[in-house]
A and B are shown apart, each in its own frame.
Chain A
Amino acid sequence: MSAISSELSAELPPEGGPAEPDLPAGTGPYRLAWRRLRRNRVSMFFGLVFLLIVILCLLAPVYAQDIAHMGPNAGSPTTQITIGGKTEFVTNSVGVPIGPTWNFSKYFLGADSLGRNEAVRLLYGGRSSLEIGVVAMLITMVLGTVLGLLAGFYRGVTDGLISRVSDVIWSFPVVILGIALATVINVQGLGPLHSTTLMTTAVVIGFVYIPYVVRPVRAQVLGLREREFVDAARQQGLSGPRIMFSELLPNLSSTLVVFVPLILANAILLEAGLSYLGAGVQPPNASWGTMLEQGLQLFPGGFSTVLVPGVMLVLTVMSVNIFGDGLRDALDPRSKVAR
């Protein structure tokens, strides 16, 4: 997972990219990037796939009420359904649930071990997973950027403190750190956080990824702070915070934009990992991770309950990753330069 860091270490600041020949002079770097992104069909396609998944998950209550007619926690192993004139229980005598019926209104993707509707749970679970992913990503981005700015701009003691703490967090496997924090918070509670809210998982995940943003931001700020425009700002008597947020921050934006999908993808993956180990989302809340965990308990029976959330999870994370990859290429001023 040291992953994320180096991916961006080679990132160049956005300015100075050679304009593409067929464009009027003075086209801004972001318009250029948007043009390049639009031309990248694969990235755009997966961006749309992700958008579609988000919309589907947001529509979970609609599907539950109007089509499936059951909520995410409704149903029991003895619920009966009728398909093609044949009536059967949603789980068989040894507790293995039925697989997909491909009938939108009746257990479209089959049942889980407790006889709940897998399709409904998939959408509700997606909502949790995406919500956790987004909140965690925001926490990481905001705190990581602020800390990186502080460390790079003030240097000295501030930098030493922030960098050493990041080093310490950085040296631990994210999963182990995540489990440890989640366990402590689930047992002791921390302010409004306790075992029944999704936000506990989001905060834990958001926290463990902070160093992955702090490091590259700090490195870039260290370079930027020596530049003329920062000198000019200082000469004008701007305060430190003002320089950081209105002079330096805009210059970091292309790096930060690239981090968003990267952290989001990893946060969704880590949620699944933590939930699989029982340290993430707590039942009966559904998330893709908890659904996978419950599906694996039946192993090797009822493998559809593993495949359903698994395919969805991989598809979502992959869409985010591919879109993010395209975004990085588009923002890289060197791309599309002869080569």
Chain B
Amino acid sequence: MARFVIRRLITMVLMLIVISFVTFLLFIVALPGGNPAALIAGRLATPAEVHLISVRYGFDKPIWVQYVRTMANLFDGSAYSYQEGFNVMGAITRGAPATLSLSIGAGVFWLLSSIGLGTLAAVRSGRYTDRVLTVLSMVGVSMPPFLLGAVLIYYVSYKAGVLPINGYISFTVSPWQWFRHLIGPWITLSVLFIGFYSRVLRGSILDAQGEDYVRTARAKGLSERRVLVRHILRMSLLPIISLWGLDIAQVIGGGAILTESVWGLHGIGQLAFNAIGAFDTVTLLAIVLLTAICVVVMSALVDILYAVLDPRIRLG
């Protein structure tokens, strides 16, 4: 077990290095003119000034030296955006509360609702409830988040005035306003996932019905409810949970950009979007790393959860 963990850790670190280096390279090479110094100096700078900036920031050094320096700066919090001049860690810390509130809240919401709806559809398989849920989930997976957001904002916030139009209010300022401002974004982000997850869960519950361990549980005389919850659901949740781990990680790393943008949350997704537009390599690198770390950590957590849920993995 310890060897497995260590091997995983080493792979993770290697992957992080590769990911960050590729991103670094892509954005340095892709910069208009290929030189960040020219961007910092601005349009009217003389070649001499550009050269001066190049030397000062170390853009004349070999690429890998630049990479190591940038990474070191990122980790001790002293990295600054070349274009905008803000502290990158500061910008991420400012965006993080909105993104974390959005993603964790929505994540819990979509996980629980899809477990509920998926189980219901499987139990009522082939009947009316199942069909309605199937149609709903199809609508859900076909709905772009920004469109759903726009429709909610127009009808629920603007016309009916039930929810705030947009923006993020910090939890520390007012928990109630925080909650109210996040209801819309939570729904917007969740619908697509609920549609998809509930279908997957329904499928895997139906598949499990024919398994030996389910027949054994029934043969022991367990109640149908107990068979469903303790035996079927327990196994059928596995694919959902591994999906969930990756999706949450991506959403934290800026994957909720569409939701953030339409609801004006100014989170990490928005930061990533602006950074790409401005060719702000350093900020982007930081976000890419954040995403990668989240993905790596979540997949480790998912592995542990697997072991908890599946006795074959735990004992094997």
Residues of A participating in the B interface, judged by any CB pair closer than 8 Å: 1-3, 6-7, 9-10, 164, 167-168, 170-176, 179-180, 183-184, 187-188, 265, 269, 272-273, 276-277, 279, 292, 296, 299-300, 303, 306-307, 310, 313-314, 317-318, 321-322, 325, 339
Beta-carbon contact of B138 and A322 below 8 Å: yes
Q: Residue B251 at the A interface, CB < 8 A?
A: yes
Interface residues on B, range: 35 or more
* Pair A296/B292 contact, Cβ less than 8 Å: no
**CB-CB nearest in chain A for B14:** A164
Partner of A269, one of B32, B144, B255: B144
Q: How far is the CA of A173 from the CA of B287 in the complex (A)?
A: 11
Cβ contact within 8 Å between B257 and A175: yes
A-contacting 9-mer, from B70-78, B84-92, B202-210, B225-233: B202-210
B284 within 8 Å of A (CB atoms): yes
Do A168 and B22 have beta carbons less than 8 Å apart? yes
- The reply to whether the CB of B26 lies closer than 8 angstroms to some CB of chain A is yes
> In the assembled complex, which residues on chain A have CB atoms less than 8 Å from the CB atom of B203?
10
**A318 neighbours in B (Cβ, 8 Å):** 138-139, 142
Q: Is the beta-carbon distance between A6 and B139 smaller than 8 angstroms?
A: no
Contacts of A168 in B (CB 8 A): 15, 18-19, 22
B interface residues, Cβ below 8 angstroms from A = 15, 18-19, 22, 26-27, 30, 32, 134, 138-139, 141-147, 150-151, 153-154, 158, 196, 199-200, 203-204, 206-207, 209-210, 239, 242-243, 246-247, 249-251, 253-255, 257-258, 261-262, 269, 272-273, 276-277, 279, 284, 287-288, 291-292, 295
Q: Once bound together, how far apart are the Cα atoms of A172 and B146, in whole Å?
A: 19
Q: CB within 8 A of B146: which of A167, A188, A276, A317?
A: A276
Q: In the bound complex, what is the Cα–Cα distance between A180 and B255 (angstroms)?
A: 13
In the assembled complex, which residues on chain A have CB atoms less than 8 Å from the CB atom of B251?
173
- Residues in B whose Cβ lies below 8 Å from that of A265: 141-142
Docked-complex contact A188 and B288, CB < 8 angstroms: no
Inter-chain CA distance A307–B151, complex, in Å, is 8
A314 and B138 contact, Cβ closer than 8 Å, known pairs A2-B250, A171-B292, A277-B258: no
- B243 close to A2 (CB less than 8 A): yes
Q: Enumerate chain A residues within 8 angstroms of B257, measured Cβ to Cβ.
A: 173, 175-176, 179, 277
Contact between A176 and B272 (Cβ–Cβ < 8 Å)?
yes
Q: Are A296 and B254 in contact (CB under 8 A)?
A: no
When distances are taken between beta carbons in the complex, the residues of chain A under 8 Å from B30 are 184, 187-188
